[in-house]
Structure 1
Amino acid sequence: MSEPASAFAVGQRWLSETQPELGLGMVENVEHRRVTVLFPATGERRTYAADNTPLWRAQLAAGELLRDLEGRDLTVVDLLEHNGFVTYLVRDTAGNEEPLPETRIDPTLRLSRPQQRLRAGRLDTDTWFRLRVQALEQTARLATAPARGLIGARISPIPHQLHIAAEVADRHQPRVLLADEVGLGKTIEAGLILHRLLLAGRVRRVLVLVPEPLLHQWLVELLRRFNRRFALFDRERLRGRGQAADAGNPFESEQQILCSLELLRDDPGLAESAMQAGWDLLICDEAHHLEWTPASASPAYDLVAGLAAQTPAVLLLTATPEQLGRAGHFGRLRLLDPERFGDYQDFLNEEARYAPVAELVTRLLDPSPLNADEQQRLEELVGPQDGGGPDPDLEAGALATEAQSSSEEADNAVPPGRQALIDRLLDLQGTGRVLFRNTRAAISGFPERQLYPAALEPSATESIADIDPLDPQRSALDDPDWAESDPRVDWLIEQLRALSPAKALLIAAAAETVLDLRRFLLERAGIHAAVFHEGMPIVERDRAAAFFADPEEGAQLLLCSEIGSEGRNFQFAHHLILFDLPEDPELLEQRIGRLDRIGQTETVAIHVPYRTGTADEVLFRWYHEGLDAFSAHQPAAPAVYWEQQERLGELLLDPAPEADEIAALVAEAASRRAELDAQLTQGRDRLLELSSHRPAVGRALAEAIDAEDRDPAIETFLTGLWDAFGVEREPGPSGSIVVRPGAHMMQERFPELPDEGLTATFSRTHALAHEERQFLTREHPLSRAALELVTGSHLGTSALVLTQDPRFPSSAVLLEAVYVAECPAPPVLNAQRFLPPTARRMLIDEHGQERSTEIDADALGGKCLRSRRPLAKALLEAKRKILDAMVTLAEQQAARETAELRDQAVALMRRELDGELVRLETLAQRNPAVRSEEIEALKAERDALTEALANSRLRLDALRVIAFA
């Protein structure tokens, strides 16, 4: 459309009709019938003939949203035009009003003015209109999905992981310890929590601290499973930056950073930079390495304590929370809430009170009625309902009736009344708000374990007295040929030949051991083994792990030093060789957990060679006969170890221990383990098990994800968009799809599509089996960028089709008006929970009647008139007055519905937040784990949402005229 030269003035904002991706342009110069426009979003400058430009004036109306140069979301209240230049009166999210010159509008803001475009004859194809409606629907579904943030992860939907992720991520500034037993997926839980928080906009700046050997594994997992690209801050990248005064703070250069704990611990300058950078979320893996006692703390502990003290949300991860004793466990809880966990002795005393609570919870799981004493105890613990009256759920008759009505359910579900009581008990008395620990005993899906011990006679040249039980390969440092006399080496060669071609993972304590074993195996038996130890660069470790994982050309054996027992997962193998045994039972469980985890499809075969008459045999018998540690995870084993550590150490150092001494220690270990198992089942472990895994919640989330996976809507939208945009696609192997940039695309690039293209799948099953393929869901970056590409542009905002229908006479018209519910609120409020950006489609006829309930607008297809401009222009000109009146009627209908929409959103918000607020305030009276800051933050959130929702509205997003011939 041509514009007269007088229409342009310096400072005005204009948009390019043909290249909307340039963003808002600003007129820089007008002279000699030419106009120069700067597009700040892209840095491009264009000069046009003033009387023939592809530009249209970017001018907003009252009620529309914009964003200023500071990134503030503002609502237009009014506008004043003077000499062709516009100043807007705007209102911010706090209700403050101020003038804003149009030069201060964010140049990346995308404006879509359907009525203005329709009047000007700027039409889109019907295909784009339909794609726009689909995009709006998909955006709304993403915003309101109960499993939002959990859908797009490349994981199998396992209920206990989903429950923890949703429970933690939905808290205000969550601070928890994720301590699931080895193999239960605490790293996945942390990733899901992170992903859900980022998608909701509740966190932006994230620091992940992990042991240095796990850096690359975390980097790959965050990208592969969650499509999260973290900046890797390693020693090479940060060399010297911590001490350089003029280098700036490196931690302010990225939003999401992955760094090793050791790097910050060893460099005070870098540690201080990390402290000053400011974070929304801190994640610390392998937190059992953070040592604390009432008398002292390790440097690593002090570092994390400093970061945790000034970071609102904190996740600590450990599979072995008590590896350094109860004091160390308390110290980690202290990092999360120093006020709640201020005194170690109080903590121990509190835990002693868990047993009767767990016993009562167990009784509530039993369908039989409670006796009088149990009812009284329940009332003492739970208290009356709000208002002071008796709690009807506590009446024996009601409980018995509920139990009988539900006792025969197939899944043995807890009766509803009792489940509410159990939830209340766990809230009031348990520790689940701070600590989540699922156990293998409570979660199905784990493989069996089978022990294959090998009792070996020491060789004639090997002196038992020379074998150091705490470093069985000590002689490797002195004698490079130690393996010549070690019977375990010959046994290993024969065992590998017997197992071939099955893969085996061997773990030994020291890196020197695995290096010598690799040499001996190659020289004496021609066996090529991959090695994995702490002396290797991280990239080489990754290559070794990949070489071992290769099913066709990879190594049969991977030799790992002790670090192989932390972080890495090798469940594709099912033979584990423990060349030596660690003294700590939690380290032993970590070793076994590399294979024994959810996802393992075979029985885990544990091969343990030991030399008879040596400390090897003492340690093996203590584990096998005393702790039964090879057959299953033993939660009581760490406590037994701490009690027997000194005596066990003495026996291990004794070159000729008495048989009766060994038998006595083993028998005592077995007795003590059984006793502690009973106590843990009755006490805190039982409460943790119940609070950490709510099967009904987890199942509901898993079912929601399954429903999302079966819904073809996002695939339909993306394939239609690719075709319209000019992206090439073709079938790939095994049901995949190959997508690549086309030669004639609408724009130079399609967002999130690499220049070389990608291979993708919409199937979760295929994505889990083929990690090299992109898993496309609504949450994938490409999908979200595609939705933004459509909804954030003018594409599909105005369309005109010509059709025939016996219900309408020739020359009649219908107007389809698409409105979008929107609420101008900061992302952190997540207002879309209560007011999703749902598309409201109205169908107005020439008599002013709204016909969308009786006429399917999607069925009203026809001939698109975009390419027949003269006909379209004539039709629109002939119907201009009636169309303006129809738009006015649609606006009036939208205004009426807006009030109802606001009321519904506010009511929904108050029901949810007021209920949670009452719950937290009640809990805070009995359970100190509920922080006062959490309650105050919830009140502030409720007040802010009340105000934001009051400013919500229906915004006109697109118009389609349907003309009948």
Structure 2
Amino acid sequence: MEPFSPDQSVRHQRHGNGRVVAELGETVVVRFGAGIHQVEAVELTLVRALSDALAARELDDPLQVLTRAQALAIQSANDQWGVFSRSRVTLLPHQLWVCREVTRTWPARWLVADDVGLGKTIEAGLILEPLMASGRVRRVLVLTPARLVPQWRNRLKTMFDIRLQEYAGERDRGPLTFWETADQVVASFHTLRQEKSRKRLLAAEPWDMVMVDEAHHFQSRETDTTLTYDLLRQLEDAGRIGSLILFTGTPHRGKDYGFLALMQLVRPDLFDPERDVQEQLPLLGQAMIRNNKALVTDLNGRKLFKPVETETVDYAYSPAEAAFYRTMSSFILDGRAYALSLTGRQQSARMLLLITLQKLAASSIAAIRRALERRREMLARKAPLPSADLSVENGTTDDERAEAEEQRASEVTVTLMQDEIERLDEILALAAEIEEESKIRRLLDLIEERLEPDEPLLLFTEYKATQALVFETLERRFGKGCVGFINGDERLDIVSNGSPRALTVAREAAAADFNSGRARFLISTEAGGEGIDLQERCAALVHVDLPWNPMRLHQRVGRLHRYGQKRAVRVFLLRNPETVEARIWALLEEKLARIQAALSASMDEAEDISQLVIGMAGDGFFDELFAAAIAGPMKGLKDWFDAETRTFGGQGAVDTVRSLVGNVSRYDFQAASAELPRVDLPALEPFFRNAMRFEGRRVTRSDSGLAVATPEGWRSEVGMRSRYDGLVFDRSLPMERGMINLLGVGHPLADRALAEFGRAEALLGRADELEKPFIVALVEDEVTGTDATVHRVVLGFETTVDGRAAVLRDWEALLRLNAIQTLPENRMPPSDHEIAEVQKLIEQLPETVPTLVLPFRRPKLTPVLALLPGTPQVSINRASQPKMEPDAPRVGN
């Protein structure tokens, strides 16, 4: 046997194709992909290389050469960008960029803090799909709040055909654990808090990828840690996490320690909560991504989002409502005075209850009246006192928190004052005199004066009692069936024509009715503040009440202000300027505007940073502010507000936000535009047709799409059908067609074709459209053992008019290859002139590589195949020769 030489192409039965590094006698050191193995020489077979084909002047089947070149370019572009992933939604540049940035290193460890509405589930699918298709990721665990579990499961299935199994405790009780039978799982934080569930998870096989939604719930404190934080910490310490991606819009919740503890989970080599935060913020670009709506663009650099138009709609109380408001405020003040005379849990329980009553009163008279009626009934019955704990667990969603407040306002029967029943009777008597709430009357005027007839409208309320009031009013005015609702338990108790009735509807069904036009109005509590897309028809939103935490407004508007919205979103805020809550809101808006202006002045491009500033205030800040405001001096309210909020948006917070914004990694069109692939699924069709033609299969087209019989030798593959009909390369594929009809990377037929032709020994061919030779080359990193996810990149090379080598990125090379429509049947060997041209082009290749941004330390370039002009070239000018007519039919028709 002839000895092997360095860089020779070889094949090993187990490791696949590789290139020789060194021969050691009976063994040979070979590089296979990113790994180096020492194998026995007898186990290797030589593989023809382009140099062999050129030396022997052997032409291969031109169709096979072209198809292999297309396959290599497709695989390279998708490995980096996920651009050919099967998704039902149009992929945006910032999403492709996030996929490339996250998967550039391995293991992937990032915190993604994109603004709401930028498509985090799409980004998650884009990250996962190429990694799963390549076999790098097999086991996936998604952790999320309970009510977002169905969203994650549904979206990854419908958008990417990634099928997550939902974890539930009752499924994990047998001797064989759930984790031993499931490789792709979505689980809620809450279901893994029990010790038995956690032990089984920790004992399971490691996860290649763990993704966490709403990751701000996983922050640690200096004095203690949350159960959710402990869950990730234990998984990490047990070596059960390979790659980790955290998603949250508010990574910094006011405490540097908690933020750095979160970042330490992501990159323990970079961050430590015990060290100074300012020293570590410059490292964020290596571990944190944040894209803002103000900066994201399409492929042409045009901004994707129009600014939101916000308008305050004022109303005034009637005399009866004003009397109710004054009496209710007095009740709250007296309750606070009584609570402050107590200590410990007795005081805190009463203060939390009073805050809840104050919130309900700010939402609607109907909401507080219902709570007080139930409370008065329980107090009169002297029912056994339930737990007085109004606190909520960390990780509880906004909607769950609101539901708990609404329920406990009537159930928690700690007394608020000595004569509470008599005081409640007085308040309820005043409420009974109010026949119609001014807020609701103003809402109807707003709809009829400011909206077009039949224009869809999304409305938000914090509490179900207010939601029921608005539902009844709209149905009475605009007709039965025109109103839908979304809330946490998918049930709404209303009074219709004097008779109570209970309505039930799943939130997905309510959203579908609204998006399709079957319902004109949709009223949502905070359950619709995330996980539901409502931008298809609607561009108008009304905040019927104002939640005390401004973050919720941002999340609400995000249901409409997201990609796919064609109009500027109009937002209306209903409020009575005479109430203390409205005055505090106005002062908050003024302060946020000042903070925004101060930060925008120091930014290269202004962006909305209010979400970060609000998030840094912490969970309890706004509750304490609004609760204390009712006791503040109305005449000196601004001075009181300035004193109470001196730490909110203070210099320390502003500096931290500026550092966060300035140091994180982000999509920048100017920097990324040259690299961004300008191709989509339709660019796969020429390859697919060529592959099927080479395999002897005829692709036909009908109104439903393409149809083809699967090549005989492929039918034994797992999941492969014998025939496919209705295949399309269109991401707008209707849901009812099913993902099996969408062709892209991840489809069994496409994956088999890419694998088959990517490893084919097709090296040298001809194409009539070419005037000069076209070379496809692989670039690999000679340094092995790096943390790169992508180990090789495909490039195309051609000769320019001035005789220099021009380089094309993988997606550019694919477009050039797709333009080749005719292939000659003749296999006339390359002329001396053609061989010389190819050799000259190959010699120039290394000079072009440094002009590209490649994820390699020491790039090594290897020419893989070449396409020559269809008519053999000689040293004279080809233009003087008659053009040969091609014998072969057009490829791709």
CA contact (8 A) 2:529 2:558 kept: yes
In the alignment, what sits opposite 2:440? 489
Query: 1:577 Cα shift?
Result: 1.7
C-alpha deviations, 1:253-284, integer Å up to 9, x for none? 34433332332234642563256320122111
1:694 aligns with 2:693: no
Query: 1:303 Cα shift?
Result: 0.8
Give the 3-state SS of the residue equivalent to 1:659 in structure 2: coil
Whole-angstrom distance in 2 between the partners of 1:539 and 1:795: 58
Query: 1:206 Cα shift?
Result: 2.3
In the alignment, what sits opposite 1:522? 475
In the alignment, what sits opposite 2:77? 145
In the alignment, what sits opposite 2:99? 165
Question: Which of 751, 756, 760 is matched with 1:785 structurally?
Answer: 751
Whole-angstrom distance in 2 between the partners of 1:671 and 1:189: 38
In the alignment, what sits opposite 1:570? 534
Q: Which amino acid aligns with 2:358?
A: P
C-alpha deviations, 1:790-823, integer Å up to 9, x for none? 5389999999xxxxxxxxxxxxxxxxxx999899
1:601 aligns with 2:601: no
In the alignment, what sits opposite 1:738? 705
CA contact (8 A) 1:320 1:586 kept: no
Structure 2 residues not aligned, in runs of 5+ = 1-7, 22-26, 50-58, 297-302, 330-356, 362-366, 375-430, 492-503, 597-607, 766-774, 799-819, 873-885, 888-893
Query: 1:346 Cα shift?
Result: 1.3
CA contact (8 A) 1:506 1:560 kept: yes
Question: Which of 228, 243, 260 is matched with 1:300 structurally?
Answer: 228
Whole-angstrom distance in 2 between the partners of 1:662 and 1:490: 29
Query: 1:544 Cα shift?
Result: 1.9
CA contact (8 A) 2:216 2:253 kept: yes
CA contact (8 A) 2:65 2:865 kept: no
Normalising by structure 2, report the TM-score.
0.62
CA contact (8 A) 2:595 2:649 kept: no
Does the C-alpha gap of structure 1 residues 262 and 671 become closer, same or farther in structure 2, counting only changes over 3 Å?
Answer: closer
Give the 3-state SS of the residue equivalent to 1:730 in structure 2: strand
Whole-angstrom distance in 2 between the partners of 1:259 and 1:912: 39
In the alignment, what sits opposite 1:321? 251
CA contact (8 A) 1:760 1:773 kept: no
Give the 3-state SS of the residue equivalent to 2:310 in structure 1: strand
C-alpha deviations, 1:814-859, integer Å up to 9, x for none? xxxx9998999999976762577999xxxxxxxxxxxxxxxxx997
C-alpha deviations, 1:263-313, integer Å up to 9, x for none? 223464256325632012211111122242111111111112223443232
Give the 3-state SS of the residue equivalent to 1:692 in structure 2: coil
Whole-angstrom distance in 2 between the partners of 1:186 and 1:487: 40
CA contact (8 A) 1:174 1:314 kept: yes
Query: 1:627 Cα shift?
Result: 3.4
Does the C-alpha gap of structure 1 residues 788 and 719 become closer, same or farther in structure 2, counting only changes over 3 Å?
Answer: closer
Question: Which of 348, 355, 359 is matched with 1:470 structurally?
Answer: 359
In the alignment, what sits opposite 1:253? 181
Counterpart mapping for 1:135-534 below 5 A: 135-145=67-77, 148-153=80-85, 154=87, 156=90, 158-198=92-132, 201-225=135-159, 227-235=160-168, 239-241=170-172, 243-244=173-174, 246-248=175-177, 250-266=178-194, 268-269=196-197, 272-273=200-201, 276-309=204-237, 310=239, 311-323=241-253, 325-344=255-274, 346-347=276-277, 349-350=278-279, 429-443=282-296, 444=303, 445-457=305-317, 460=320, 463-464=324-325, 465-466=327-328, 468-472=357-361, 473-477=367-371, 485-498=436-449, 499=451, 500-515=453-468, 517-519=470-472, 521-522=474-475, 526-528=479-481, 529-534=483-488
CA contact (8 A) 1:507 1:578 kept: yes
Give the 3-state SS of the residue equivalent to 1:606 in structure 2: strand
Q: Which amino acid aligns with 1:488?
A: K
Query: 1:144 Cα shift?
Result: 3.5
Q: Which amino acid aligns with 1:522?
A: E
Counterpart mapping for 1:560-639 below 5 A: 560-572=524-536, 573-611=538-576, 613-628=578-593, 634-635=610-611, 636-639=613-616
Normalising by structure 1, report the TM-score.
0.58
Identity %: 20
CA contact (8 A) 1:651 1:662 kept: no
Does the C-alpha gap of structure 1 residues 861 and 780 become closer, same or farther in structure 2, counting only changes over 3 Å?
Answer: same
Give the CA RMSD over aligned residues.
5.9
Does the C-alpha gap of structure 1 residues 326 and 821 become closer, same or farther in structure 2, counting only changes over 3 Å?
Answer: closer
Query: 1:189 Cα shift?
Result: 3.6
Q: Which amino acid aligns with 2:792?
A: R
Whole-angstrom distance in 1 between the partners of 2:726 and 2:717: 15
Query: 1:684 Cα shift?
Result: 0.6
Q: Which amino acid aligns with 2:438?
A: P
Structure 1 residues not aligned, in runs of 5+ = 1-61, 78-87, 106-110, 114-125, 355-428, 800-817, 840-856, 865-882, 918-941
CA contact (8 A) 2:209 2:242 kept: yes
Whole-angstrom distance in 2 between the partners of 1:447 and 1:775: 37
**Across the two proteins, how many residue pairs are aligned to each other?**
693
In the alignment, what sits opposite 1:549? 515
Give the 3-state SS of the residue equivalent to 1:341 in structure 2: coil
Whole-angstrom distance in 2 between the partners of 1:792 and 1:647: 63
Does the C-alpha gap of structure 1 residues 744 and 686 become closer, same or farther in structure 2, counting only changes over 3 Å?
Answer: closer
Does the C-alpha gap of structure 1 residues 665 and 293 become closer, same or farther in structure 2, counting only changes over 3 Å?
Answer: same
1:540 aligns with 2:506: yes
CA contact (8 A) 1:168 1:193 kept: yes
Whole-angstrom distance in 2 between the partners of 1:331 and 1:279: 21
Does the C-alpha gap of structure 1 residues 953 and 267 become closer, same or farther in structure 2, counting only changes over 3 Å?
Answer: farther
CA contact (8 A) 2:103 2:789 kept: no
1:684 aligns with 2:659: yes
Does the C-alpha gap of structure 1 residues 431 and 682 become closer, same or farther in structure 2, counting only changes over 3 Å?
Answer: same
Question: Which of 626, 630, 633 is matched with 1:649 structurally?
Answer: 626
Q: Which amino acid aligns with 1:217?
A: Q
Give the 3-state SS of the residue equivalent to 1:280 in structure 2: strand
Whole-angstrom distance in 1 between the partners of 2:512 and 2:621: 40
CA contact (8 A) 2:104 2:788 kept: no
Give the 3-state SS of the residue equivalent to 2:244 in structure 1: strand
Whole-angstrom distance in 2 between the partners of 1:687 and 1:830: 26
Higher mean displacement: 743-752 or 256-265:
743-752
In the alignment, what sits opposite 1:659? 634
Give the 3-state SS of the residue equivalent to 1:506 in structure 2: strand
Does the C-alpha gap of structure 1 residues 831 and 578 become closer, same or farther in structure 2, counting only changes over 3 Å?
Answer: closer
Query: 1:605 Cα shift?
Result: 1.8
C-alpha deviations, 1:559-611, integer Å up to 9, x for none? 22213222333233221121222222222222222222344332222222234
Does the C-alpha gap of structure 1 residues 566 and 452 become closer, same or farther in structure 2, counting only changes over 3 Å?
Answer: same
Query: 1:158 Cα shift?
Result: 4.2
